């Protein structure tokens, strides 16, 4: 484990120090419960719902040798106090120095966007590793620094955690890292000191407006990652161009393009809809897309330059992943690995063996004659995408089980309700992670988008003369009901939670896994047959 004097860690930080500058720091923490003895620097973060200054006494009792604060505090003699303007920003810089600036020793690829980040990052890491470039991973599912996938607290961890994970990757012999960069993570400075080599933009959808307030603020948060790229980076004693990989199918791509151009980065564009690349950019496109229950086939075209001497390369991809939206994710991943030197053919071969991501259009099969699919879709756009894919592979009806999380962007609830009513044959509206809200209140707002009727009133006829939607607040019972009413050729889509193995209520978090519940419901159905 690294260790540094307090003075050496603070060289790049504007601060006031009270105490011994030679204090040896052997660990960093912003959670008082995780302070584990002498040598810890405890950072008092100030958030919307908490103030870390309230927990300084606990941190000191647990052995903290120094505290990082943004307001005056009283501490026992022998404890050093470092006062700064912003404890989050200061800890980010301190962590970068403490862990030896690990991203400078890695080829770092940041993936940002509303949808597709997780799948794209997993694809990138898979391709890199398959091509002999050991790759780490950080994102919604957790992080992979060594051999296995470890749980993480956020899609993009706090800056100190990011630096610690990158340090662990370097020690484990990883040479590359694919990281999801959420808009929260970018806006809160969690990745501000990562030395990005490649930035990947997937898309912008309706999400996180409770945090960003406006779509313009949301887009600008994404764009700031690309403004930070710069023109060149140094690896192994050589200068390498920084690269932005941009989805031009998304209407907000211009803001991302402008940010990348401003930074001086090279640009690779991609389109799954047949759009031509932007002038002066290398371009990826997909044609002849055929998707079904067993996977997706398509051809990738790669244009390395423009003009009469332009070189065009094409390769076929046969992927086990279902859905046209995964073609776009694959193009994003291919663009990222091309940017760091992986040949197109190697990327295509690796994708053919990519197993997918848990909870992303994941099928649950107990030998039934209809399909059951679990997906993380929790935004209007992502729900529309997976419902369209479910329709593509269905020989019958599409039955959708979904809800919306509590204490999150409320404006998307009626939008998701309207999408489900329009695109599914039958919907069961249920609880997701209600957190501090009453599940019935959340469902009521969803249903407003499905019908003019009040919650609990039958909707319009849709399923064999019955209502087109139904409310069952108990998520497990909602899944069982969907399975019970399914018949040959139908697709049951369980949306919203995907890989999650818990449900968050006001006063407790309980174990809950959509895949487990679906499998149990299918087994019950088989026993009753």
Identify the structural domains of the chain with CATH numbers, from first to last: 4-98 (3.40.1390.10), 102-271+324-343 (3.40.1190.10), 362-528 (3.90.190.20)
Question: What is the band of 278 on the pLDDT scale with cuts at 50, 70, 90?
Answer: confident
CA distance 246 to 287: 18
**Helix orientation angle between 87-98 and 159-171, rounded to the nearest 10 degrees:** 10
Spell out where 341-464 has E strands: 362-363, 371-375, 398-402, 426-429, 461-463
DSSP string covering 209-230 = HHHHSSHHHHHHHHHHHHHT--
pLDDT digits (tens, 9 = 90+) for 227-270: 989 888 766 667 789 999 999 999 999 999 999 999 999 999 99
**Helix orientation angle between 253-263 and 215-227, rounded to the nearest 10 degrees:** 30
Q: What is the mean pLDDT of the chain?
A: 90
Q: Are 123 and 202 in contact (CB under 8 A)?
A: no
CA distance 466 to 242: 57
Q: What is the DSSP letter of 150?
A: B
**Helix orientation angle between 475-485 and 514-528, rounded to the nearest 10 degrees:** 40
Q: Are 80 and 18 in contact (CB under 8 A)?
A: yes
- Cα dist. 422→444, 497, 529 in Å? 18, 21, 32
Q: Which of 327, 335, 177, 166 is nearest to 243 (CA)?
A: 335
- The whole-number pLDDT of residue 297 equals 95
Q: Are 387 and 507 in contact (CB under 8 A)?
A: no
CA distance 383 to 80: 51
| Cβ contacts of 311-320, under 8 Å, gap ≥ 24 | 313/344, 315/344, 315/345, 315/348, 316/348, 317/348, 317/351, 317/352, 318/352, 319/295, 319/351, 319/352, 319/354, 320/294, 320/295, 320/352, 320/354, 320/355, 320/356
pTM: 0.85
Residue 32 pLDDT exceeds 70: yes
| Cβ contacts of 137-145, under 8 Å, gap ≥ 24 | 137/177, 137/178, 137/179, 138/162, 138/165, 138/177, 138/178, 138/179, 138/180, 139/111, 139/178, 139/179, 139/180, 140/180, 140/376, 140/499, 141/357, 141/358, 141/499, 145/169, 145/172, 145/174
Q: Are 246 and 270 in contact (CB under 8 A)?
A: yes
Question: What is the band of 300 on the pLDDT scale with cuts at 50, 70, 90?
Answer: very high
CA distance 110 to 137: 10
pLDDT digits (tens, 9 = 90+) for 355-378: 899 999 999 999 999 999 999 999
pLDDT digits (tens, 9 = 90+) for 77-103: 999 999 999 999 999 999 999 999 999
Question: What is the band of 147 on the pLDDT scale with cuts at 50, 70, 90?
Answer: confident
- Nearest 5°: CA angle at 124, between 298 and 187? 120
Residue 210 pLDDT exceeds 60: no
Q: Which residues of 411-449 are buried (b: 16+ CB within 10 A; e: fewer)?
A: ebbbbbbbbbbebbbbbbbbbbbbbebebeebbbbbbbb
CA distance 494 to 360: 11
Q: Would you put residue 288 in left (φ > 0), alpha (ψ -120 to 50) or beta? A: left
CA distance 324 to 116: 12
CA distance 219 to 226: 11
Q: Are 471 and 481 in contact (CB under 8 A)?
A: no
């Amino acid at each position: 484990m690294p260790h540094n004097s307090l003075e050496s860690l603070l060289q790049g930080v504007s601060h006031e120090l009270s105490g011994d500058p030679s204090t040896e720091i052997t660990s960093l923490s912003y959670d008082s419960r995780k302070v584990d003895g002498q040598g810890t620097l405890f950072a008092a973060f100030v958030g919307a719902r908490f103030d870390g200054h309230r927990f300084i006494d606990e941190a000191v009792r647990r052995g903290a040798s120094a505290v990082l604060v943004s307001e005056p505090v009283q501490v026992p003699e022998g404890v050093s106090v470092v006062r700064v303007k912003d404890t989050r920003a200061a800890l980010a810089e301190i962590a970068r120095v403490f862990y030896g600036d690990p991203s400078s020793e890695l080829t770092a690829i940041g993936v940002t966007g509303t949808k597709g980040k997780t799948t794209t990052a997993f694809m990138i890491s898979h391709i890199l590793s398959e091509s002999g470039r050991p790759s780490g991973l950080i994102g919604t599912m957790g992080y992979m620094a060594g051999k296995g996938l470890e749980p993480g607290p956020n899609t993009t961890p706090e800056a100190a955690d990011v630096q610690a994970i990158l340090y662990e990757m370097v020690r484990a012999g990883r040479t590359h890292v694919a990281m999801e960069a959420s808009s929260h993570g970018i806006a809160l400075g969690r990745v501000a000191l990562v030395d990005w080599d490649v930035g990947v933009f997937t898309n912008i959808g309706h999400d996180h407006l409770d945090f960003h307030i406006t779509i313009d603020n949301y887009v600008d948060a994404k764009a700031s990652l690309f403004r930070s790229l710069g023109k060149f980076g140094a690896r192994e004693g050589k200068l390498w161009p920084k690269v932005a990989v941009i989805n031009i199918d998304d209407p907000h791509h211009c803001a991302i393009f402008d940010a990348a151009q401003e930074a001086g980065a090279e640009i690779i564009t991609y389109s799954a809809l047949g759009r031509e690349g932007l002038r002066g950019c290398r371009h990826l496109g997909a044609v002849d897309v055929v998707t079904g229950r067993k996977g997706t086939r398509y051809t990738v075209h790669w244009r390395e330059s423009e003009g009469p001497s332009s070189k065009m390369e094409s390769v076929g991809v046969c992927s086990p992943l279902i859905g046209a939206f995964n073609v776009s994710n694959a193009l994003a991943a291919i663009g990222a690995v091309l940017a760091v030197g992986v040949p197109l053919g190697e990327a295509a071969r690796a994708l053919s063996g990519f197993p997918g991501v848990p909870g992303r259009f994941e099928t649950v099969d107990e030998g039934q004659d209809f399909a059951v699919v679990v997906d993380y879709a929790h935004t209007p756009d992502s729900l529309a995408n997976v419902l369209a894919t479910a329709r593509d592979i269905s020989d019958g009806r599409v039955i959708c089980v979904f809800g919306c999380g509590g204490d999150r962007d409320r404006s998307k609830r009626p939008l998701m309700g309207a999408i489900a009513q329009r695109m599914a044959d039958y919907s069961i509206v249920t609880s997701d992670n209600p957190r501090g809200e009453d599940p019935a209140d959340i469902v009521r707002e969803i249903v407003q988008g499905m019908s003019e009727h009040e919650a609990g009133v039958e909707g319009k006829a849709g399923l064999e003369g019955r209502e087109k939607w139904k409310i069952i607040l108990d998520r497990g019972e909602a899944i069982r009901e969907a399975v019970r009413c399914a018949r040959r050729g139908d697709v049951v889509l369980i949306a919203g939670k995907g890989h999650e193995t818990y449900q968050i209520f006001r006063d407790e978090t309980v174990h809950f896994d959509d895949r487990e519940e679906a499998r149990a419901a299918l087994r019950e159905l088989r026993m009753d047959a």
